[in-house]
């Protein structure tokens, strides 16, 4: 069972809550899938049962899944719509996660005008790495960046400065509808370069300008 854990190995004394995710937060990703670029953040939720540990090996919960590498934020203190301070003060740690997506099912649901949950929020659909304290990240969130190397080839590069909705604004938008509790996670969107995972794939995920790195093999 998934539990929040520091990158140094210790457990984090926070419950596992929900994940609030944003779709199409990078224009190039929306364009690569033939989707319109949204005028405001496109939000959806993954439940606690979606969380999984991104470790040395990753067993996919169903075949034919696509990966979307995303910068993840761990909420350490409640954040709500009446919060007047900098929302970044409620973020305690940063990690990378995979928003696993059943793309064929998602396309079917979209064509039928139905919600995406069955293709996005199923059990095991959110493998998350361990958490790096936010004070070990570059001081300005707009300087944050991350990389996915797949089977030795650069697959995805995410630069926070290229997000359609910057992180502080994204947090303020989320809490207009969904109060964030300690232990919740926010996924901030994926850059271009998504694709289908296959057994035997090796993924190397890293956060730029930090020591954070995870290598996992798909089984």
Per-residue pLDDT of 118-154, as tens digits, reads 999 999 999 999 999 999 999 999 999 999 999 999 9
Looking at residue 55, which CATH number applies to its domain? Answer: 3.90.850.10
pLDDT of residue 116: 87
The answer as to whether 169 is a domain residue is yes
Full residue range of the structural domain in which residue 57 is found = 19-218
CA distance 32 to 42: 17
The answer as to whether 6 is a domain residue is no
CA distance 34 to 28: 10
Q: Which residues, given as ranges, of the chain have pLDDT below 50? A: none
The answer as to whether 8 is a domain residue is no
pLDDT of residue 35: 67
Residue 73 CA, chain-centre distance (Å), reads 8
pTM, 2 dp: 0.96
| Beta bridge partners of residue 114, listed in sequence order | none
The answer as to whether 138 is a domain residue is yes
Domains identified in the chain, total number: 1
Helices (H), 140-190: 167-174
C-alpha distances (whole Å) from 121 to each of 9, 54, 63, 125 are: 27, 17, 15, 6
């Amino acid at each position: 069972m998934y539990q929040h854990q520091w990158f140094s190995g210790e457990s984090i004394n926070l419950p596992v809550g929900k994940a609030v995710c944003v779709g199409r937060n990078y224009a190039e990703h929306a364009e690569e899938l033939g989707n319109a670029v949204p005028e405001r953040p496109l939000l959806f939720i993954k439940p606690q049962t979606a969380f999984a540990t991104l470790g040395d090996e990753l067993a996919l919960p169903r075949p034919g899944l696509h990966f979307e590498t995303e910068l993840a934020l761990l909420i350490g203190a409640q954040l709500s719509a009446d919060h007047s301070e900098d929302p970044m003060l409620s973020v305690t740690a940063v990690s990378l996660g995979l928003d696993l997506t059943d793309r064929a099912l998602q396309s079917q649901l979209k064509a039928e005008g139905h919600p995406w949950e069955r293709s996005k929020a199923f059990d095991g659909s959110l493998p998350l790495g361990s958490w790096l304290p936010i004070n070990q990240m570059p001081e300005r969130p707009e300087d944050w960046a991350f990389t996915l190397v797949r089977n030795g080839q650069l697959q995805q590069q995410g630069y926070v400065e290229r997000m359609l909705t910057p992180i502080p604004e994204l947090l303020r938008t989320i809490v207009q509808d969904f109060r964030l509790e300690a232990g919740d996670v926010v996924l901030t969107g994926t850059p271009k370069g998504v694709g289908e995972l296959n057994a035997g794939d090796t993924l190397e995920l890293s956060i730029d300008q930090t020591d954070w790195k995870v290598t996992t093999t798909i089984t």
